[in-house]
A and B are shown apart, each in its own frame.
Chain A
Amino acid sequence: MYSYTDFDEAFVRTRVSQFRAQVERRIDGSLTEDEFKPLRLMNGLYLQLHAYMLRVAIPYGTISARQMRQLAFIADKWDKGYGHFTTRQNIQYNWPALKDVPDMLEALADVQMHAIQTSGNTIRNVTSDHFAGAAADELEDPRPYAELLRQWSTDHPEFQFLPRKFKIAVTGAEADRAVIRSHDIGLQIVEQNGETGFKVIIGGGLGRTPMIGKVVREFLPKEDLLPYCEAIVHVYNTLGRRDNKYKARIKITVHENGIDTMRDLIEARFTEIRPEFTGVDQELLAGIKAQFATPPLREGDTAAYDAAYQMDPIFRAWADTNLTAHRKADHAIVTISIKAHGKTPGDATSDQMRLMADLAEEYAHGELRISHEQNVILPHVHKGDLPAIHAALKAAGLGTANIGLASDIIACPGMDYCALATARSIPIAQEIATRVDELKIEHEVGELKIKISGCINACGHHHVGHIGILGLDRAGVENYQVTLGGDHTETAAVGTRMGPGFSADEIVPAIERLMLAYLDLRDAPEETFLQTFRRLGDAPFKAALYPESEARNAA
């Protein structure tokens, strides 16, 4: 885990004290809202539908038990006893009062956390693979590079007023668990001729114009990471459109100028600035890397795990669904589902946060991760400890065995909280999860990514869901449009939009029909929903979605 240097500490404390003074001046009338708004946004404070919302960065999704406990404390003291984990590995508090926000930021600073650049047209929280440093398929831990990028981008003077927000994701494995192809810059650690470096992808993004990123460099030496990223953001800052916010993201810049022109401009700028990077960043990186060393993993037998797996079907279902291969065979990566059927995806109560912190401390070297799929991970767990962990999770309502299944739904806050939303997401997610639990079909259906957004901005990643649901306002009524065949992984694809949308009452039965159709259509239980869709195309799924038109056509 990265620990702040004296510089980091002083920097964050100074920002808190500046913001405290800004809040005081807003409240006493010295600052107008127009003057205050950009200042609050630079510190992650939004005004949403019902209240303010504070978005806190969890860089590359890594958090300590102590930090998790502090998030719980903040939820209890200044919010309503819970927090919402987001698709960019942040946590959001939905009910802070303006006067309390400086104290909340101070409490975050006490555990080396902050809300800087979680909003605004700047480089946002750098995200990463939530299994980083633990996954069996990983080439190298991407987090030291993510931390280096965080330090480089935080308050970078050239990049505080970009045309639009800018998002970077990093992964160290071929399997893309960080959605890198839907980011402004996606970085993947790759090997070439025995050397590791980065594949660099730019111009991915969802929203109203979803695009899969394009490779701008097949191989970038590691020591060139900062100057190359600086060149990319510089070109975007110069070329990106500021006349129309809907055309301002780098995906449009790449689309309008072409990847070859972008590459030429980026390489030219890179050549220009490369000599300015003296190697200090590499010295810093070496220090950062040392802090991400794998914790001392204990040896021991796994008899308790083997016995529970044989004897307890509930434990077995959980183990089969929620565990991922660790690079050490007698260890596992545990994904804790915060998607109990019928609950709000991504929400954890302060008690649940504290329990997860306790478990991390007792069994997982004090470390947790937040996934872009809105779950919490214990990255290094000895298999012998899994029965005890499962028992504790089950007792706290955190033992749901549904990771990767139909009820493990990504849902943005939607119109229940978000000022931009055009329809609600949360109740739809709750109803789908409840329904699949009633039907007891989700384990039979197997891997299925349902992703729901409450507006075209696509925070719920609906474009890259196997089943994507987009909530819209159709003449004053909530309406839900379905896309199928989206994929956020290394085989990324934007889903295909089906026919007319569904009302709030119709959408859950429509999703149920899709799942049942898939069970009929698949070649074998091993063939996933996405594979079946890719094999057969949309026609049989459209027929399931719109049985009445099918009947009309047949008549």
Chain B
Amino acid sequence: MPKPFTPKVVTANALIEGDVIYLTNNGEWSRRHEDARLFTDEAAANAALAAAELQASEIVGAYLADATSGARGPEPTHFREAFRATGPSNYAHGKQVDL
């Protein structure tokens, strides 16, 4: 039996800088997880991913990542995505500088 769909965000890395990025509600890319659009519908998520993959001159490695709705916006549900959203734990010089 297929796994039931759980909410997702579309994430990737920026082509030039390599930064972790998220697809927003207005179809742009943000460095902040909380700005991401949270897809609760599987077909819409897959369509957004397919559209993102066409933006090859801006992004690289797009995929759907599990997320949940939080007080300030979508929050990652898995620790890997939490690290991607904040930066490494040994230096405060990743994304956490701006968060």
Bound pair (A, B):
yes
| A interface residues (Cβ-Cβ under 8 A, vs B) | 26-29, 32-33, 47-52, 80, 95-99, 344, 347, 415-417, 424, 426-427, 430, 473, 476-478
For residue B61, which residues in chain A have a CB less than 8 angstroms away from its CB? 33, 47
CB distance from B26 to the nearest CB of A (A): 23
C-alpha spacing A47/B18, complex, angstroms: 7
Query: Smallest CB-CB separation from B94: which chain A residue?
Result: A50
| B interface residues (Cβ-Cβ under 8 A, vs A) | 13, 15-20, 56-57, 60-61, 77-80, 83-84, 87-91, 93-95
C-alpha spacing A49/B94, complex, angstroms: 11
Candidates B19, B56, B84, B95; contact of A29 at CB < 8 Å: B56
Candidates A95, A416, A477; contact of B90 at CB < 8 Å: A416
> Once the chains bind, are B79 and A478 in contact (CB under 8 Å)?
yes
> Once the chains bind, are B19 and A27 in contact (CB under 8 Å)?
no
Query: Smallest CB-CB separation from B88: which chain A residue?
Result: A416
Closest 4 CB pairs of A and B: A51-B18, A416-B88, A52-B18, A29-B57
Query: Smallest CB-CB separation from B19: which chain A residue?
Result: A51
Candidates A28, A32, A98; contact of B18 at CB < 8 Å: A98
C-alpha spacing A344/B83, complex, angstroms: 17
> Once the chains bind, are B57 and A430 in contact (CB under 8 Å)?
no
For residue A415, which residues in chain B have a CB less than 8 angstroms away from its CB? 79-80, 83
For residue B80, which residues in chain A have a CB less than 8 angstroms away from its CB? 49, 415, 473
> Once the chains bind, are A50 and B79 in contact (CB under 8 Å)?
no
C-alpha spacing A229/B17, complex, angstroms: 40
CB distance from A66 to the nearest CB of B (A): 27
Q: Can you list 26 contacts pairing A with B, beta carbon distance less than 8 Å?
A: A26-B15, A29-B56, A29-B57, A33-B60, A47-B13, A47-B60, A47-B61, A50-B18, A50-B19, A50-B88, A50-B94, A51-B18, A80-B91, A95-B18, A97-B17, A98-B17, A344-B90, A344-B91, A347-B90, A415-B80, A416-B83, A424-B89, A426-B88, A426-B90, A473-B79, A473-B80
For residue B90, which residues in chain A have a CB less than 8 angstroms away from its CB? 344, 347, 416, 426-427, 430
For residue A50, which residues in chain B have a CB less than 8 angstroms away from its CB? 18-20, 84, 87-88, 94-95
Query: Smallest CB-CB separation from A51: which chain B residue?
Result: B18
For residue A427, which residues in chain B have a CB less than 8 angstroms away from its CB? 89-90
Query: Smallest CB-CB separation from B86: which chain A residue?
Result: A50
Query: Smallest CB-CB separation from B15: which chain A residue?
Result: A98
For residue A98, which residues in chain B have a CB less than 8 angstroms away from its CB? 15-18
CB distance from A95 to the nearest CB of B (A): 8
By CB atoms of chain A within 10 A, which of B16, B18, B61, B94 has the most? B18
Given A51-B17, A51-B19, residue A33 in contact with residue B88 (CB < 8 A) = no
> Once the chains bind, are A80 and B19 in contact (CB under 8 Å)?
no
Given A49-B84, A98-B16, A415-B83, residue A28 in contact with residue B57 (CB < 8 A) = yes
> Once the chains bind, are B88 and A27 in contact (CB under 8 Å)?
no
C-alpha spacing A80/B61, complex, angstroms: 23
For residue B83, which residues in chain A have a CB less than 8 angstroms away from its CB? 49, 415-416, 424
